[in-house]
Amino acid sequence: MDETKAENAAAAQQKTVLVGVTGCVAAYKACELVRALQKAGMRVKVVMTEHATHFIDPLQFRALTREPVGLGLFDNPSDPIHHISLASEADVFVIAPCTANVAAKLAWGIADDLLTTTALATTAPIVIAPAMNVHMYENPATQRNLRELKARGMTIVEADAGYLACGDVGRGRLADPEAIAQAVIAAANPKRDLAGKRVLVTAGPTREPIDPVRFITNHSSGKMGYAVARAAVARGAQVTLVSGPVSLEAPAQAQVVPVETAAQMAEAVKARLAESDIVVCAAAVADARPAAPADHKLKKGRDDDALSRIDLERTEDILAYVGAHATPGQVVVGFAAETDNVVENARGKLERKKADLIVANRVGGGHTFGKDDDEVTFVTAAGAEAHPLQSKDAVADELFDAVAALGAQR
């Protein structure tokens, strides 16, 4: 019964994003945007202009979203006022790519198809990601229209510069879908309680060299730490992300400090600790490293002794350092990846490391590592609070709710 209630609550909190796709070569990138938004735990529906259907088949979006795709004002017989129902349903309306033509229509209040009538009817936040030829983009009329839309409160995700489909080089290329997704997440999340705060996040694994070729590492994908960074950005924080080696796109507004080893990560954290209001240690830092890494590749036969026996030494405990050196008012969050006695071990870690909050999760057996979702327990001095299986972005958002509650108790 409790699980059913949790599922219903999660469904009620899920945001609906309406993705508007216009007639542009970059229309195919809207598929990447849809997937990014879905990974963030959002329900996605798509509305297309007629010209957009010449660049990408609506069936693609229907397959991705498992939702009907809006095409025309009268294409839903069961809903005679389709643009009003779509407008009411959306928590955020993002138009990506947005052509110069559609930007002009929005600026001047022209509503002559399903997409533009829906945009005019919605009260939800609107995010615009323009894409077009460089000369069209730089045209004073286009720039005036974009300024007008921004002045009305719409979020403009500026086009990138580079090689364009038409062969020209310059600004006009659709922004990275991940950057657009972050703008949508921020628009969907009215919480700006971290505005003015500085958040330091560690993420990913570390690599401890055995020789110039081999290293010791772990299964961490970095997804949880990157979700934490995204959530902090969406809530208005100035974010520094100290990241081990991962294959993830960082939030566009975060400052990323790439590192490889535990020692490098410790150095990066120490250098930024004093200026941080919140520190979230989500990285899976190696507990040990080879005491004497070889300066050459260890070879079979020649280096058998070195390969069969690798002496290890402890790495510095970054979370313990942060907890010991935290100043009054700083909030320290750590993670506990456990295979057994998850909550009990997290409580011990909370006390030993002098943290304010430990996010405990079970690892092994297909849990956590590399997944897009997680089931965690928040452990504080006041007790333990279980959170059901949900996206890591949702976990990250709830983490900052817990941080806010801790701050209110001080």
- Which long-range contacts link 323-328 to residues 24+ away (Cβ below 8 Å)? 323/353, 323/354, 323/355, 324/354, 325/273, 326/273, 326/279, 326/354, 327/274
| One domain for residues 222 and 142 | no
Residue 193 lies inside a defined structural domain of this protein: no
402: pLDDT strictly greater than 80: yes
Residue 112 lies inside a defined structural domain of this protein: yes
Q: Which of 188, 223, 252 is the last residue of a domain?
A: 188
In terms of phi and psi (left: phi > 0; alpha: psi -120 to 50; beta: otherwise), the region of 23 is beta
- In order, the DSSP letters of 308-347 are H---EEEPP-HHHHHHHHPPTT-EEEEEEEESSSHHHHHH
| One domain for residues 180 and 202 | no
Question: Is 97 within 8 Å of 49 (Cβ atoms)?
Answer: no
183: pLDDT strictly greater than 80: yes
Q: Is cis: bond before 205, omega within 30 of 0?
A: no
Question: How remote is the C-alpha of 126 from its chain's centroid?
Answer: 19
Question: Is 283 within 8 Å of 205 (Cβ atoms)?
Answer: yes
- CATH number, domain at 296? 3.40.50.10300
Q: Which of 139, 161, 188 is the last residue of a domain?
A: 188
- Average pLDDT over the chain reads 89
Q: What share of the chain is helix, strand, coil (3-state, %, to 5)?
A: 40, 25, 35
| One domain for residues 248 and 111 | no
Q: Percent of the chain at pLDDT above 90?
A: 66
| One domain for residues 184 and 137 | yes
Reported as a single tens digit per residue, the pLDDT across 273-285 is: 999 999 999 999 9
Structural domain boundaries enclosing 204: 198-409
Reported as a single tens digit per residue, the pLDDT across 20-30 is: 999 999 999 99
Residue 1 lies inside a defined structural domain of this protein: no
Which of the residue ranges 37-46, 265-274, 293-302 has the most confident prediction, judged by mean pLDDT? 265-274
Catalytic residue positions, numbered = 166
41: pLDDT strictly greater than 90: no
Q: Phi and psi for 113 in degrees, rounded to 5? A: -155, 180
Residue 122 lies inside a defined structural domain of this protein: yes
* pLDDT, position 80: 58
74: pLDDT strictly greater than 90: no
Residue 287 lies inside a defined structural domain of this protein: yes
Question: Is 155 within 8 Å of 127 (Cβ atoms)?
Answer: yes
In one-letter notation, the amino acid at residue 116 is T
Reported as a single tens digit per residue, the pLDDT across 314-371 is: 999 999 999 999 999 999 999 998 888 899 999 999 999 999 999 999 886 655 566 7
Closest C-alpha to 90, from 113, 67, 60: 67
**142 beta partners:** none
| Pairing, β 373-380 against β 357-362 | antiparallel
Domain count, the chain: 2
396: pLDDT strictly greater than 80: yes
- What distance, in Å, lies between the first and last C-alpha atoms of the chain? 35
| One domain for residues 67 and 166 | yes
Residue 31 CB coordination number (10 Å): 18
3-state secondary structure of 57: coil
- List all residues 6 or more positions away from 294 whose beta carbon is below 8 Å from its beta carbon: 210, 211, 212, 303, 306
Closest C-alpha to 246, from 289, 205, 287, 282: 205
| One domain for residues 236 and 347 | yes
| One domain for residues 77 and 159 | yes
Angle between helices 82-89 and 114-121 (to 10 degrees): 50
| Pairing, β 383-391 against β 373-380 | antiparallel
* pLDDT, position 291: 94
Question: How remote is the C-alpha of 301 from its chain's centroid?
Answer: 47
| One domain for residues 264 and 290 | yes
Instruction: Give the DSSP letter of residue 37.
Output: H
Residue 348 lies inside a defined structural domain of this protein: yes
Residue 53 lies inside a defined structural domain of this protein: yes
3-state secondary structure of 246: coil
